[in-house]
Chain A
Amino acid sequence: MFLKKLILTFLLLNFFTNDSFSAEKQEKLLTLNWSFNGFFGKFERASLQRGYQVYTEVCASCHSMNLLSYRNLSEVGGPSFSEEEVKAIASKVEVLDGPNDNGEMFKRPGKPSDKFVSPFANEKAARAANGGAYPPDMSVLVKARAGGADYIYSVLMGYDDKPPKNVKLEDGVYYNKYMAGNKIKMAKPLNKDSVNYSDGTVATQEQLAKDVTTFLTWASEPHLEARKRLGFKTVIYLLILTVLVYLVKKKIWSRVEPKV
């Protein structure tokens, strides 16, 4: 029936256009075949560790990650640094603590239980240092953007030194293909060899962007692996239970509707 087909069409249309607003005349995002996609998705440990290196050496000079602690780096399903490594990582930062018994604030080396140290004391300081723009906290950034990991990756790859002629850029504003309005106040953060990978991986721009996006995805969804694993188990369990219940139901109802 025509009407039913129309209803179905609009139902599906609704289901697939839930990001309708952000879809306004935007460049199609670059899509990668992320290892954490799909039913059995997992993070690549090495990529997470490299991504953390990119974060600390590049992003962390402007972007905070307030919701993460150094201890998270050794947790299951994450970059899986050893506890010794995490202690070493944490001890490299200076943390403001106190007040001590004399009522004075003091600095001490970080501990795994400390939150990631922010690059700026507060939002005003961050804006002052970045031409008025506030570098967003990156703890849940991947979940806070339509397109998720693909969006972050695309923005990192979307810089162009020669913007189209009709685009006028003020001082301290850069052209980015994937940013809303194509303008961004962050200078191109990743270039070839921005980071000297300790595991010897060649640091191409693609590699850097991929690694840091993987790291950020884990940061915003640290239990992704556990979720997908539990999801699979639940699906299997439900499938078996559903078949059993269906058979029970059929058996019970056979008393009412004898087979013709």
Chain B
Amino acid sequence: MSDKNLENTSAEYKPVHTNKVGGSPFKGVVGWIDNRLPIFRMFKYEYLDFQVPKNLSYLWSLGGILMICLIFLIVTGLVLGMHYKPSSSEAFESVEKIMRDVNFGWLIRYMHMNFASFFFIAVYIHIFRGLYYGSYKEPRQLMWLIGIVIFFLMMATAFLGYTLPWGQMSYWGATVITNLFSAVPFVGESIVTWLWGDYAVGDATLNRFYVLHWLIAFGILGIVIFHVIALHIVGSNNPSGIEPKDTRDTVSFAPFTTSKDLFAMLIFLFAFVIITMYAPNYLGHPDNYIPADPLVTPAHIVPEWYFLPFYAILRSIPDKLMGVIAMVSSIAILGLLPWLDLSKIRSSVFRPIWKQFVFLFVLDFFILMYVGGMPAEGIYLLIGRVGTAYWFLFFLIIAPLVSLIEKPLPMPNSIHEFEQWKKQGKIKTFKLF
């Protein structure tokens, strides 16, 4: 009877393996661990054997640089958090205590402050790279979208962090930005009160901003991991925009990419050290060394430099609600680009018309940044409106239109042919100067 049952099992049911122990390329203790927790082989496959296009320029080093920035920000933030007091009556003084009495507190705080700025410098170059070389196109759309989510979270974290020293700009910046939510029809005022936890920006607001600053910072770390996993599935794009075909097109990640990225990181750190050690407050605003005073409004409330382009877009729309919508969608619209740009060719190197518009977009970004730092009146308002118009036209009209009418330049068949063409002077690649 029982024998018959067994026969039935082998005939009708598939065998199961509830454990997948084994398969490690390593021996010994490492192999033993790796058979049970495959971290060593993952590291080997994804970082030692991982193949990347051999023609990556230094613009591809920004990803690694951003990772370093994030790690430094988290580490310095941890130390600051041990000394900082998120209370409206103590915050300013506790920051000054860090600057004066905590051993090397001044260094930790200046590093945290300036790494935030340099994080944005790096991320803007990173986004430009994606834009110029079409890194948002098939099959990298999801990675691009994850990147935009990270950018939103970065902005939120930076804004929340800027309120923590509780200086005048902290206080009034928080007031202006949270007040934007009052533009939401019907429930706006309630939302603002809910955000504040009070009827004005105050102690309750500072406390929750501090918590959220931490939460979202670690949220970024989590989503960055998704960004990197996605990268290891779709692989890096490259200046030619052509997918690698054989080993003539690629190098292994270590030691080639690692050594190149390390060099780029050091150059980046060099600029960082110069600013942090010799002009640590250059990128900030002097008013933030005046303790927050709800009774005194600063002459001009300006956000941090990295928000200025979007601040300019916000102010260029006369209606508050529409302004807020324009500001948010000016970033969100980046997410539509993979579906608005219909061209199959990734790299702008082969797209003579699109290339010009991308550069114009970069110019627009800097113009808006300049306008965002100026009073919203007269000529600045006009320039801001033209800049805002171009920003949206670029995505909604120019991207699809150019991709339809543009005649691309002749393209090589592979990355190594691309490199040969480059040597022969047949193609011009992007050079900063």
Contacts and interface: CB of A to CB of B under 8 A. Distances in A.
Nearest to B274: A235
Contacts of A21: 299-300, 302, 373-375
Interface in B48-73: 54
A82 interface: no
A227 B107 contact: yes
Given A21-B300, A21-B375, A11 B256 contact: no
A3 B273 contact: no
9 contacts: A3-B356, A14-B369, A18-B283, A234-B277, A242-B267, A249-B260, A249-B262, A249-B263, A252-B259
Nearest to B251: A256
B260 A253 contact: yes
B22 interface: no
B233 interface: no
A10 B367 contact: yes
The 5 tightest CB contacts between A and B, nearest first, are A231-B277, A144-B289, A10-B366, A249-B259, A21-B300
B278 A39 contact: yes
A223 B97 CA distance: 12
Interface in A211-258: 220, 222-223, 226-228, 230-231, 234-235, 238-239, 241-242, 245-246, 248-249, 252-253, 256
B96 A140 contact: yes
Interface in B15-62: 54
A148 B280 CA distance: 13
B333 to A, nearest CB: 21
Interface residues of A, dominant DSSP: helix
A219 to B, nearest CB: 10
Interface residues of B, dominant DSSP: helix
A145 interface: yes
Given A223-B106, A242-B263, 19 more contacts: A7-B362, A10-B367, A14-B369, A14-B373, A21-B299, A21-B302, A21-B375, A67-B93, A67-B96, A143-B289, A144-B287, A148-B286, A231-B278, A235-B270, A238-B270, A245-B259, A249-B263, A252-B259, A260-B423
A12 to B, nearest CB: 9
A49 interface: no
A81 to B, nearest CB: 17
A146 interface: yes
A143 B370 CA distance: 23
A238 B269 contact: yes
Contacts of A18: 282-283, 305, 373
Nearest to A229: B277
Contact of B370 (A17, A139, A242): A17
Contacts of A25: none
A14 B256 CA distance: 36
A1 B359 CA distance: 11
A13 interface: yes
Given A7-B362, A18-B305, A230-B107, A146 B286 contact: yes
A252 B263 CA distance: 12
A91 B302 CA distance: 44
A238 B96 CA distance: 29
B366 A253 contact: no
Contacts of A144: 286-287, 289-290
Contacts of A246: 263
Nearest to A235: B273
Please classify how large the interface on chain A is, using the bins under 10, 10 to 19, 20 to 34, 35 or more.
Answer: 35 or more
Interface in B122-151: none
Interface of B: 54, 93, 96, 99-100, 106-107, 110, 251, 255-256, 259-260, 262-263, 266-267, 269-270, 273-274, 276-278, 280-283, 286-287, 289-290, 299-300, 302, 305, 356, 359-360, 362-363, 366-367, 369-370, 373-375, 423, 433
Contacts of A252: 255-256, 259
Contacts of A1: 359
Nearest to B302: A21
A245 B268 CA distance: 14
B116 to A, nearest CB: 15
Nearest to A239: B270
Contacts of B276: 231
B96 A139 contact: yes
B356 to A, nearest CB: 7
A6 interface: yes
Nearest to A180: B299
Contact of B273 (A143, A222, A231): A231
A143 B363 CA distance: 32
B259 A17 contact: no
A227 B280 contact: yes
Nearest to B281: A143
A20 interface: yes
Contacts of B360: 3
A248 B107 contact: no
Interface in A128-172: 136, 139-140, 143-146, 148
A146 B375 CA distance: 17
A13 B259 contact: no
Contacts of B54: 256
B236 to A, nearest CB: 16
Nearest to A147: B286
A7 B266 contact: no
A220 B266 contact: no
B256 A140 contact: no
